[in-house]
Chains A and B, each alone.
Chain A
Amino acid sequence: MWERIFVILRKELIQALREPRMRVLLFVPPMVQLIVFGFAVNLDVDHARIAWMDMDRTPESRSLRDRFTGSGRFDIVSAPGSEAEVQRALDRGEAQAVLRIPQGFARDTARGRSTEVQILVDGTNSNTASLVASYAGSIIAEYSVNLMERQQRVKVLTRSPGSAVSMATPQVTARSRVWFNPDLYSRNYFVPGVIANIIMMVTLMLTALSIVREKEIGTMEQLMVTPVRPIELMLGKTLPFALVGLMDVVLVTVVALLVFHIPLRGSFLLLLFCAVLFLMTSLGAGLFLSTISQTQQQAMLGSFFFSTPAFMLSGFAFPIRNMPVAVQYLTYLNPVRYFIEIVRGIFLKGAGVDVLWPQMAALTIYGITVLSLSAMRFQKKLD
Chain B
Amino acid sequence: MNSVEMHLLVKKFGSFVAVDQVSLAVEKGEIFGFLGPNGAGKSTAIRMLCGLLTPTSGSASVNGFDVAREPEEIRRTIGYMSQKFSLYDDLTVEENIDFFTGMYGVPREKRAERKRHVLEMANLSDRRKALTRTLSGGWKQRLALGCAILHDPPVLFLDEPTSGVDPLARAAFWGLIHDLSETGHTIFVSTHYMDEAEYCHRLALMYRGRVIALGTPAELKAGLTEHSLLNLDSSDPLETMRALEGLDGVRDVAVFGGGLHVTVDDVEATSARVRERLGAQGIAVRKLERIEPSMEDVFVALIESEERKAA
Interface positions of A (Cβ within 8 A of B):
3-4, 6-8, 11, 14-15, 18-19, 217-219, 221-228, 380-383
Contact = CB atoms under 8 A, between A and B. Distances in A.
B52 A226 contact: no
A222 B75 contact: no
Contacts of A218: 82, 84-86
Given A222-B80, A222-B86, A15 B91 contact: yes
Nearest first, the 9 closest Cβ-Cβ pairs linking A and B are A7-B102, A218-B86, A218-B84, A226-B103, A222-B86, A225-B80, A382-B52, A227-B75, A219-B86
B87 A4 contact: no
A224 B85 CA distance: 15
Contacts of B82: 218, 221-222
B104 A221 contact: no
Most chain A CB within 10 A, of B72, B76, B78, B88, is at B88
B71 A380 contact: yes
B293 interface: no
23 contacts: A4-B103, A7-B103, A8-B103, A11-B91, A14-B95, A19-B90, A217-B86, A217-B89, A218-B82, A218-B85, A219-B87, A222-B80, A223-B103, A225-B52, A225-B75, A226-B104, A227-B72, A227-B76, A227-B103, A227-B105, A228-B103, A382-B47, A382-B53
Contacts of B51: 225, 380
Given A15-B88, A221-B84, A224-B52, 18 more contacts: A4-B102, A7-B99, A7-B103, A8-B102, A19-B90, A217-B86, A218-B82, A219-B86, A222-B80, A225-B52, A225-B80, A226-B75, A226-B103, A227-B76, A227-B103, A227-B105, A380-B51, A383-B54
Most chain A CB within 10 A, of B51, B54, B86, is at B86
A112 B105 CA distance: 94
Contacts of A6: 102
Contacts of A223: 103
A15 B78 contact: no
Nearest to B103: A226
Nearest to B131: A18
B26 interface: no
A9 to B, nearest CB: 10
A15 B92 CA distance: 10
B86 A221 contact: yes
B88 A383 contact: no
B106 to A, nearest CB: 11
A8 B105 CA distance: 12
Contacts of A3: 102, 105
Contacts of B50: 225
A382 B90 CA distance: 24
B127 to A, nearest CB: 17
A15 B85 CA distance: 18
B100 interface: yes
Contacts of A227: 72, 75-76, 103-105
Most chain B CB within 10 A, of A11, A217, A226, A380, is at A226
A381 B71 CA distance: 10
A209 to B, nearest CB: 15
Interface string B44-87: 00010011111000000000000000011001101010101111
Interface in B205-260: none
Contacts of B84: 217-218, 221
Nearest to B144: A222
B22 to A, nearest CB: 17
Contacts of B86: 217-219, 221-222
A161 B99 CA distance: 100
Nearest to A3: B102
Contacts of B95: 11, 14
B54 A381 contact: yes
Contacts of A225: 50-52, 75, 78, 80
Given A217-B84, A218-B84, A218-B86, A14 B75 contact: no
B99 to A, nearest CB: 5
A219 B82 CA distance: 9
Contacts of B89: 217
Nearest to B52: A382
A308 B90 CA distance: 32
A216 B234 CA distance: 50
